[in-house]
């Protein structure tokens, strides 16, 4: 298993447990504005991931667009978020009403799956 995949899984597990590790996020997403997924906030992907973890829907959407081109997003009637791109579908339930964190978990699951393929 690659170091990147291990880091992605560790970050996903921490986020699911409602914990955050900036050092691990930097290892996964990089540091600095040059990594920015969007110009509006002018921040890097690791900072955007933290904002999504903390409830920022705009940050979650920007990460999705930057990191998962071709993946679609959806919501289920029970409140679950999901992302899909054949042959994968990943879903997560919002914890404490934090929809952005559920979206982040789906993004991390998708990145883990993509790490398996290259």
Q: Computed from CA positions of residues 66, 75, 4, 32, in that sequence, does the dihedral angle turn out positive or negative?
A: positive
What tens digit of pLDDT does each residue of 92-104 get? 999 888 999 999 9
- Of the chain, the end-to-end C-alpha distance in Å amounts to 11
> Is the per-residue pLDDT at 55 higher than 90?
yes
> What's the CA gap between 5 and 60, in Å, rounded?
20
Write down the domain spans for the chain: 3-116
> Is the per-residue pLDDT at 46 higher than 60?
yes
**For residue 19, what is the enclosing H or E element?**
none
What tens digit of pLDDT does each residue of 2-15 get? 898 999 999 999 99
Tally the residues of the chain: 118
Neighbours of 81 (CB within 10 A): 23
pLDDT of residue 73: 95
- Overall pTM surpassing 0.85 (yes/no): yes
Q: Which residues contact 33 (CB under 8 A, 6 or more apart)?
A: 42, 43, 44
pLDDT of residue 36: 44
């Amino acid at each position: 298993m690659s170091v990147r995949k291990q880091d992605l899984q560790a970050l996903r597990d921490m986020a699911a447990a409602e914990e955050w590790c900036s050092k691990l996020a930097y290892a996964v997403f990089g540091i600095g504005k040059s990594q920015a997924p969007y110009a509006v906030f002018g921040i890097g992907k690791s900072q955007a991931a933290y904002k999504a973890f903390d409830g920022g829907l705009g940050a979650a959407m920007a990460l999705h667009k930057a990191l998962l081109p071709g993946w679609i997003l959806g919501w289920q009637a029970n409140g679950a978020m999901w992302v899909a791109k054949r042959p994968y579908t990943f879903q997560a339930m919002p914890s404490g009403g934090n929809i952005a964190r559920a979206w982040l978990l789906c993004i991390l699951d998708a990145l883990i799956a993509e790490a398996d393929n290259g």
